[in-house]
Structure 1
Amino acid sequence: MRKTLLTTTAAAFALLCACDQAPQSSSNAPAPAPTASPAPAAAPEVKPALELIDRAAIFGNPTKTSARISPDGKTLAWLAPKDGVMNIWVAPIDDLAAAKAITDEKIRPIRQMFFSPDSSMVLFINDSGGDENFLLYGAPVAGGEVKNFTPFKKTRVQIIGASEADKEHILVGLNNRNESYHDVHLLNLTTGELKLVYENNEFGGFVADDSLTLRLAFKELPGGGQDVLRFDNGKTSPFATIPAEDSITTNLEGFTTDGKTLYWLDSRGRDKAAAIAQDMATGETTLLGEFAKGDVQGLITNPVTGIAEGFGANYLKQEWFPVGDAIKADLAFLNTEIKGQYGIVSRDDADTKWILQVDETTKPVAFWLYDRTAKKLSQLFVTRPELEGKTLASMCGIEINARDGLTLTAFLTLPPGSDADNNCRPDSPVPMILNVHGGPWAQDVFGYDSEAQWAANRGYATLQVNYRGSTGFGKAFVEAATREFAGKMHEDLIDAVNWAIAEKIAPADKIAIYGGSYGGYATLVGMTFTPTTFACGVDIVGPSNLVTLIESFPAYWQPFLEGTWYRRVGDPRKPEDREFLLSRSPLSKAADIQRPLLIAQGANDPRVTKKESDQIVAEMQAKNIPVTYVLYADEGHGFARPENRISFYAVSEAFLSKCLGGRFEPVGDDFKGANVTVPAGSAFVPGLEEALKTVTP
């Protein structure tokens, strides 16, 4: 079974900005000349000021990114700007200079793509203004008209399966009939014909085999577990059950091409998810691999046979392990030859060419070609060549003990030049940003991080903490966060802050809290539940009221709410839970806010709707509490358009400079092309009102 690399969840981008005042930087005056004395004193050494890196170089469009090789090994595809918008480009793998764009998106950037099984087309999804109603398109590699395969309103496509045996078709799910459930269709990639395979009114998802036959279906159980059912021409029979406590840490990875083996990442009967192979004829399971410190988080499977050949895990760094001997020598070679971390993002069917994404942390991410036959590595491109040669910051992986003894992994990035002995501690405390990841069922990982690099260049440390509930660390770690929004999950963040103060990383009065989605919620919790801990906060698309948040989730989230939000956060349908959720909502404590707050929101966000930002801003205004509210009319759960992204970082940079005292880059024309308004508090951010005059209504 061919596994595509396309998902249908939009990545949420976090953003920061600058102001139109002169940058505040360390002195760059020349060293004083020696005095005219018989024994002149040596001139004191003055370090040159660190170059202020342009925001656009960090947060604008990459020059190129997301390289993929076609199944036939002849064509390379990647994303790159065309007239300022990210589009798909292709070239012969042996002649990249012959590159051409095969899409012509004018407004919304393309962010996810994969080759059709027969290599003739690049498929991609895109939405409108961040509404996450993703439609499926196909762009011929040879050029020509781009096809919209799913031209429906208020529809979100799912990719269910592609095939080695039938390269002309793929299976897709469409919720154009019933917004809550996806009907399964067979899509002919040549004609565009959609043939209904199964009208779905009860299942949250399906697994198909290489013949594009539905083999398994998922159905959520009351209380949050899942039934996995054998599926045979619409008839079901029991196959497996995933208990509620395993619902986040157990996942099906798909079948081998012959349909005989099913792969799991499975935490049932253990704490850390392991790689498991199950014989479909006998039901017998075999352990393929496990990782002592955390979950197995991904399988490397053969592009043709689908057989598992390796697996990955990520505790403090990404690691890859072989399963059997098929790629054992290759992984050993790559582990030796590559500096930094890598991921295998694409393989051709002959399995002679691999595309690698390489991350050295202190350099921009690059894509490489690995020739397996010649055992040769060659760089294809660097995503942001304008950052090459710049002084970028290193990152340290650390462990922090929470107050109840739970071990939290975290990542610390310090401003270049602040840690002379390279011991992961600054020579003297520096202002710090606690950057909280979204999800919350997600994970901060080691590697190049645009926001951490941006902050370090401006003079701030960045601390990123995997608080309880983060994934990758086992079932018990996720379970420890159950019903702990604004409780122990927030205590973990406070414990990390106290650790940073005790370790003299940051002064107690110069720590900001920042984040998007759940990280935005954590910011609001920090501002309301612990109102004097942080000097200021930046909330990006964060919920303020857990009741209105959960009640406004998209209909297509309904099939999995029992095991996630209802069980692990609270069920607003129950009166006692409703009261509990309100007690854990920042909106209920908005009157307690004492420190500066910046809120940014996409108007079309389907996950955390505009109401979440509107209502806390209104509550603060009613109580005469200052707040700055930045709203993007053509964005959703994060900011995809570079014009919007850069303008947001401009606002944030000026806001943080006023709060923490770091350097900032003048706004200049960074609001040009942005679709932004500031409904509240433009006067509270230096230079913001002047910058808004450059925005075309």
Structure 2
Amino acid sequence: MTYLPRECNANLNSGNRGDGIDSRKQPDSVPRYHNMKTTLPRLLAVIAGMFVAGAHAQPPPPTRPETMFADPDMQHAKISPTGRYLTWLAPKNQRMNLAILDRETKQLRWLTNMKEENVVNYAWAKKDRLLFVQQFAGREQFGLFACDPDGGNFLIINPLERVEADADGRGAESLPGSERDLPKSLISLLPRDPDHILMDRGRGRSGLGDVIKVNIRTGKETIEERNYINARAWIADANGVIRVAICTDLEEPIRIKYRKDAKAEWRTLGEFSKDLSLIASEASPVERHWRPSVFAKDNRTLYVKSFMEHDKSAIRTLDPETGEWGPVLFTHPRVEPGDRLANYVLRTGGLTSRAAPDGLIFNSAGELGGIAYTDEYPAVQWLDDKLGQRAKDIDRALPDTRNAVISTTSDGTLSVVRAASDRDPGTFYLYDAAKQELSELGRARKGIDPKLLSEMRPIRFKARDDWEIPGYLTIPIGRPATKMPMLVIPHGGPYGPRDVWGYSDDVQFFASRGYAVLQVNYRGSGGYGLEFQLGGYKGYGRKMQDDLTDGVKWCIEQGLADPARVGIYGASYGGYAVLAGLTLTPELFCCGVDYVGVSDIERRGMPRTFTGPRIFRESMAIRDLDPVKDIAIIRATNPVNHVQNIRAPLFAAYGKNDPRVQFDQWQVLEARLKQHGKTYEIMVAENEGHGFRKLENKLEYFRRVEAFLETNMNVPAGRVNVGPAVVVPSAKKTE
């Protein structure tokens, strides 16, 4: 069953603005129910009741790991282009699988039955055809598959090293044995073509690929465009014609090339000497440049994100035929438009539109309707009055959450809305524009009670050199905000990503155990403009680490943190920051948790004899320390060289299949920890990569982290271990 809260319906139908968008008035708790029959009653457990947010006078009991880190009950809910089907990811077999509801027949069923690997993402490619993605064993090798809404006509488009070869999860070995098996990435879903999508099919390790048209019903592949221009990225127009390419052989400058139609010659629109962010999925700009996003409705104008005249970038239009620039459509004094994390398309198999990283939102007619950005909180500048009014109406009906339309039908009459906050992992609603109704579809995590969780607050502090550093501080609910035990959680990357306001499993898990959580967007973090990004370059263990240290000292000076009970927790680059914190500022931290972190930056960086392509050399010379000229600095900030300085216990966790931080990063660190007799615990997951995705591994990991922190963070007087160290044995330990 699903219900429509009467207050939500009244708000949307009424012309009375009531208490306004920011009102915290609670909706009427009396629901109006709609009957919904199903063939899978158990799956309907994702349809949950309403909740009422509020504060707690006393600290609520800690949320169990099994509740906090269980796979979401509902994730990535979407409406089909015609509006007939609703789809979402949900747990089955302890893996995320794809479920579908036929809104006409009311039949609810599973589309997949995977038992080995999660379905990590999916998309409605056509009105009656879906694409979905799996990742193999954490190796960031993604398989792409297609099926009909009834699960039939299953097709492998991009094979995995090992595939669960049909929707019922029957596995089969699959190794590249033909041209069809070469890795492919999505270019365009070709919305006007009922049968095909455009993909880039790789040519070995060159990084170059040809454009192919794939029939997602038969699997037939035909070459549309041979890559003779060294294209690293392609942009198709609304008719599916490739008309923009970002090109380089990595020796010559990166060139943005354009052609009027498929028969015209390519010509250069822009040229940039060394900005790899134009072609790399992890955006880390090093110079003023502009980047094409997508074609406008007229199929001539390009939307562009430009750093040429704005440090925080601007969204503009460009007529590629005349070279004429249009007016600035959006710029912001503190942040860039868009979502830097959307650049990490490999994490979800490449089903992200090029418009997403730039924050472009289009209406059903294909016109630019709004531009999304994140300053302290996520926001949208609406350009389309109807979309803006719809957003206001939804916000008024759901005043306690940040609300976003995440999927819509082709005609725009039906939309899926995700309502979430820093304390609420989200509820999905179906919005009917004609009826002005919101109907609840389900909650992301039915076991989470938002009123028991803690508020995330934006902060800003001055670093030692007077730079203003943004971040977030989460204060445990029901506890005094004075002399709290505190965990610092530096984000990964480091260049490109940033922390944002919103729900975080990790943050809320730690806050529910009484730890304040400090998240610092140190220099080098993405989204704050070119100067802020450049400010962190060459900053491993230096400026970036100083920003973390200064954030901790600011919290201590404000009386928020107990100086004797400050721990540090981080993954990937954040794991490096943990190790740098424990070795370079050992007096600051009482314990550390290193999750898939870099321990030896000298080993992980480019070899001292590296003579790679010019653009790589010059771009990295700006971002990273030189392995020859800066070797003294590298060794001074390399954690494995300073393990003897560690005073506090360490918990470490690594995946054997990690393609980003190789497992030998742990092996080198462990040898040094043993050499110096330091206290540590280790968890190694054999079938995981850069972070643990499988439910059983996630739960074991957080149970062990919880116990480790309980031992080392919650001692009233604090504890910095400076005595003789003892190696802690572990069943998962790898010699």
Which TM class, normalised by the smaller chain length? 0.7 to 0.9
1:253 CA drift (Å):
2.1
- The question of whether the paired residues in 2 share the 8 Å contact of 1:524 and 1:537 is answered with yes
The reply to whether residue 266 of structure 1 matches residue 326 of structure 2 is: no
Equivalent residue number for residue 71 of structure 1: 81
2:623 pairs with 1:615: no
Structure 1 counterpart of 2:199: 172
Give the corresponding residue for 2:184: 157
- What is aligned with 1:318? 378
Cα deviation code 1:534-569 (max 9, x no counterpart): 1111111111222432449xxxx9998557645312
Deviations 1:161-189 (A, max 9, x none): 12222131111123363353333321111
2:527 is matched by which residue type in structure 1? G
Aligned pair partner of 1:293 in 326, 330, 334: 334
Identity percentage of aligned residues: 27
Report the CA distance shift for 1:283/1:528 in structure 2 as closer, same or farther (over 3 A). same
2:231 is matched with which residue: 192, 203, 218? 203
Hey, what's the Cα distance between the residues in 2 that align with 1:662 and 1:413? 21
User: Secondary structure, in 3 states, of the residue corresponding to 1:615?
Assistant: helix
1:483 has 2:511 as partner: no
Aligned to 1:5: none
C-alpha distance in 1 between matches for 2:621 and 2:468:
26
1:566–1:113 Cα change, 3 Å: farther
Q: Decide whether aligned partners of structure 1 residues 110 and 272 sit closer, same or farther in structure 2, where only a CA change above 3 A counts.
A: same
| Aligned equivalents of 1:256, 1:636: Cα separation in 2 | 39
Instruction: Kindly provide the amino acid, as one letter, of the partner of residue 267 in structure 2.
Output: S
2:323 is aligned, of 262, 268, 283, to: 283
Post-superposition Cα deviations, 1:423-481, rounded to whole Å, max 9, x if no partner, equal xxx0x311111011111121111111111110111111111111111112111111111
Number of residue pairs aligned between Structure 1 and Structure 2: 612
What TM-score do you get using the length of structure 1 for normalisation?
0.82
Q: Is the 8 A contact 1:523 1:537 kept in 2?
A: yes
Secondary structure of 1:111's counterpart equals strand
Secondary structure (helix, strand or coil) at the match of 1:396 reads strand
Relative to structure 2, which stretch is displaced further, 558-567 or 85-94?
558-567
What's the CA shift string for 1:41-94, capped at 9, x where partnerless?
A: xxxxx9766223211111111111110111122211100012221011111246
Which residue number corresponds to residue 641 of structure 1? Answer: 694
In structure 1, the residue matched to 2:23 is none
Q: Assess if the C-alpha contact under 8 Å between 1:289 and 1:311 holds in 2.
A: yes
Q: Does 1:55 align with 2:65?
A: yes
Conservation of the 8 A alpha-carbon contact between 2:680 and 2:727: no
Among residues 357, 376, 380, which one is paired with 2:441 in the alignment? 380
Cα displacement (A) at 1:319 = 0.8
Q: Deviations over 1:275-324 (max 9, x none)?
A: 21222332222221222221111434336553211001111101111124
Q: CA 1:403–1:375 in 2, change beyond 3 Å: closer, same or farther?
A: farther
* 2:384 is equivalent to residue 343 of structure 1: no
Match of 1:241 among 264, 268, 271: 271
| Aligned with residue 217 of structure 1, among 245, 249, 258 | 245
Contact 1:246 1:475 (8 Å CA) reproduced: no
| Matching of residues 428-447 of structure 1 within 5 Å | 428-440=482-494, 441-447=496-502
Q: Deviation per CA, 1:461-512, whole angstroms, max 9, x where unpaired?
A: 1111111111121111111112111110110000100011111111111111
The whole-number CA distance in structure 2 between the counterparts of 1:182 and 1:650 is 44
How big is the shift at 1:135? 1.9
Residues 586, 467 of structure 1: alpha-carbon distance in 2 compared, 3 angstrom cutoff: same
Q: Displacement of 1:101 after TM fit?
A: 0.9
- C-alpha separation between the residues in 2 aligned to 1:632 and 1:558? 35
**Which secondary structure state, in structure 1, belongs to the residue aligned with residue 561 of structure 2?**
coil
- Say yes or no: does 1:492 pair with 2:561: no
SS at match of 2:512: helix
Query: Partner of 1:463 in structure 2?
Result: 518
* Residue in 2 that maps onto 1:370: 431
Give the 3-state SS of the residue equivalent to 1:477 in structure 2.
helix
Aligned to 1:598: 651
The aligned counterpart of 1:181 is 208
Name stretches of at least 5 consecutive residues in structure 2 with no aligned partner: 1-55, 161-174, 177-181, 278-283, 339-357, 717-724
Structure 1 position 85 matched with structure 2 position 95: yes
Asked if 2 retains the 8 angstrom alpha-carbon contact of 1:601 and 1:631, the reply is yes
Looking at both structures, which has the greater relative contact order when contacts are Cα pairs under 8 Å and sequence separation is at least 6? 1
**d(CA) in 1 for partners of 2:113 and 2:614?**
35
2:689 match: secondary structure: coil
* Aligned partner letter, 2:136: S
Match of 1:25 in 2: none
Which residue number corresponds to residue 563 of structure 2? 508
AA aligned opposite 2:67: A
Q: Is the Cα contact below 8 Å between 1:225 and 1:563 reproduced in 2?
A: no
Quick check: 330-339 or 241-250, which moved more? 241-250
CA distance in 1: counterparts of 2:359 and 2:487, whole angstroms = 34
Aligned partners of 2:59 and 2:478 also within 8 Å: no
Residues 275, 376 of structure 1: CA spacing in aligned structure 2 closer, same or farther, 3 A cutoff?
A: farther
The AA in structure 2 aligned to 1:126 is Q
Q: Check the 8 A contact 2:148/2:154 in 1, yes or no.
A: yes
1:114 matched to 2:123? The reply is yes
CA distance in 2, matches of 1:223, 1:359: 46
CA spacing shift, 1:544–1:251, aligned 2, 3 Å? farther
Moved more, 275-284 or 603-612: 275-284
Deviation at 1:601, TM superposition (A): 0.9
3-state SS of paired residue (1:378): strand
Q: Secondary structure at the match of 2:536?
A: coil
Aligned to 1:252: 292
Whole-Å Cα distance in 1 between the matches of residues 113 and 360 of structure 2? 33
- CA distance in 1 between partners of 2:421 and 2:597 (Å): 31
Counterpart amino acid of residue 521 in structure 1: Y
Aligned-residue CA RMSD (Å): 2.9
Shift in CA distance, 475/63, structure 1 to aligned 2, threshold 3 Å: same
Q: Distance in 2 between matches of 1:210 and 1:165?
A: 8
Q: Deviations over 1:647-679 (max 9, x none)?
A: 10011111111110189xxxxxxxxxxxxxxxx
* 1:411 aligned partner: 472
Does 2:687 match 1:659? no
Give the counterpart letter for 1:293 in structure 2: R
Summarize the Cα distance change of 1:273–1:142 in structure 2 as closer, same or farther, 3 Å threshold.
Answer: same
Report the secondary structure of 1:600's partner residue.
Answer: strand
Separation in structure 1 between the aligned mates of residue 211 and residue 671 of structure 2, nearest angstrom: 43
CA offsets, 1:372-425, max 9 Å, x none?
233332221111111136611111111111112222211111111114xxxxxx
2:29 paired residue number? none
Matches of 1:487 and 1:216 in 2, distance apart?
A: 40
The residue identity in structure 2 corresponding to 1:266 is S
1:218, 1:226 within 8 Å by CA — same for their partners in 2?
Answer: yes
Q: Read off the aligned partner of 1:271 and give its amino acid letter.
A: D
Aligned 8 A contact 1:209 1:259 in 2: yes
Unpaired stretches in structure 1, ≥5 consecutive residues: 1-45, 420-425, 664-680
